């Protein structure tokens, strides 16, 4: 694919002809609206529809972004005044350090087959340990051992060192049930903003943004 030739550009240039969105078409509760879009992304056969780019910043304001998998929607969790988007990771990773420092994160879903993008930003906090325990117990044994084996985001000498560590852990846990490493668990992104983007013709895309307002949500249409 060439970005420099007119043919390359023409191939990239897509006229988005999908049906548009009006605020009235979306549920006034953005989590319910998210649910509907997520189901449509699954039904449309989007690749890994629960993959989302997680953006964080470090203490100096340097941004980082990487994919993680959405593992659930946490509706009005106990002790929380709001809903959340759940994902799991290593708390000692780069992203874990960023989140624990700033308490903030953003998520971006790209459902390109539908010419849709969904953005979330808000507070990000660790979920309670029993929630992480419960999810960890559902993971395949290999993934459980992987969580123990990987010092995520830290340097490692080579692939052989990683595999030796995994084999060591397999032996160590033998046929015992693998319990959750304390450095591995869930985060909940509690949205303050959620934006639904639908590609349209002539780059006149639709953008509907929800913003937290008291215990409810306001909705605004944004220019594309
Ligand atoms: C599709 C996809 C899904 C991923 N899901 C996760 C995930 O759920 N949790 C996770 O820790 N890393 C996941 N990763 C790996 C991360 O993108 C990243 O490499 C890793 O978490 C280390 O990030 P960090 O060093 O910025 O903390 C995924 C990668 C891809 C491509």
Segment 147-167, tens digit of pLDDT: 999 999 999 999 999 999 999
pLDDT at residue 80, rounded to an integer: 57
The model's pLDDT over 81-122, given as tens digits with 9 standing for 90+, comes to 568 999 999 999 999 999 999 999 999 999 999 999 999 999
pTM of the model: 0.92
Looking at ligand 1, which atom is closest to the CA of residue 98? 27
Residue 25 lies in a domain: yes
Please work out whether the CB of residue 192 comes within 6 Å of at least one atom of ligand 1. Answer: no
Residue 199 lies in a domain: yes
The residue contributing the CA closest to ligand 1 atom 12 is: 68
Q: What is the CATH number of the domain that holds 197?
A: 2.30.110.10
- Give the max Cα distance, the chain: 61
Q: What element of type H or E holds 200?
A: none
Asked if 126 contacts 91 with a C-beta cutoff of 8 angstroms, the reply is: yes
Listed residue (110, 183, 129, 112) closest to 151, CA to CA: 183
Residue 43 lies in a domain: yes
Give catalytic residues, as residue numbers.
Answer: 203
Please work out whether the CB of residue 43 comes within 6 Å of at least one atom of ligand 1. Answer: no
Beta bridge partners of 219: 210
Residue 1 lies in a domain: no
pLDDT at 67 > cutoff 50: yes
Q: What element of type H or E holds 86?
A: strand 84-90
CA atoms within 13 A on the CB side of 66: 12
């Amino acid at each position: 694919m060439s970005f420099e030739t007119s043919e390359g550009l023409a191939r990239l240039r897509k006229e988005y002809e999908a049906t548009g969105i009006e605020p009235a078409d979306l549920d006034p509760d953005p989590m319910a609206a998210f649910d509907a879009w997520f189901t449509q992304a699954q039904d449309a056969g989007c690749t890994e529809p629960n993959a989302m780019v997680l953006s964080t910043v470090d203490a100096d304001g340097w941004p980082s972004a990487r994919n993680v998998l959405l593992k659930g929607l946490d509706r009005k969790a106990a002790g929380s005044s709001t809903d959340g988007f759940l994902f799991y990771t290593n708390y000692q990773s780069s992203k874990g350090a960023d989140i624990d420092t700033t308490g903030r994160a953003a998520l971006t879903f790209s459902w390109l087959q539908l010419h849709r993008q969904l953005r979330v930003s808000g507070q990000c906090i660790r979920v309670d340990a029993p929630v992480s325990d419960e999810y960890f117990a559902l993971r395949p044994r290999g993934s459980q051992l992987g969580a123990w084996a990987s010092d995520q985001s830290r340097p490692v000498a080579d692939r052989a060192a990683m595999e030796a560590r995994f084999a060591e852990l397999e032996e160590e846990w033998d046929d015992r049930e693998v319990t959750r490493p304390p450095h591995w668990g869930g985060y909940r992104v509690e949205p303050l903003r959620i934006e639904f983007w639908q590609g349209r013709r002539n780059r006149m895309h639709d953008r509907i943004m929800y913003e937290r307002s008291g215990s409810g949500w306001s909705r605004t249409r944004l220019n594309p």
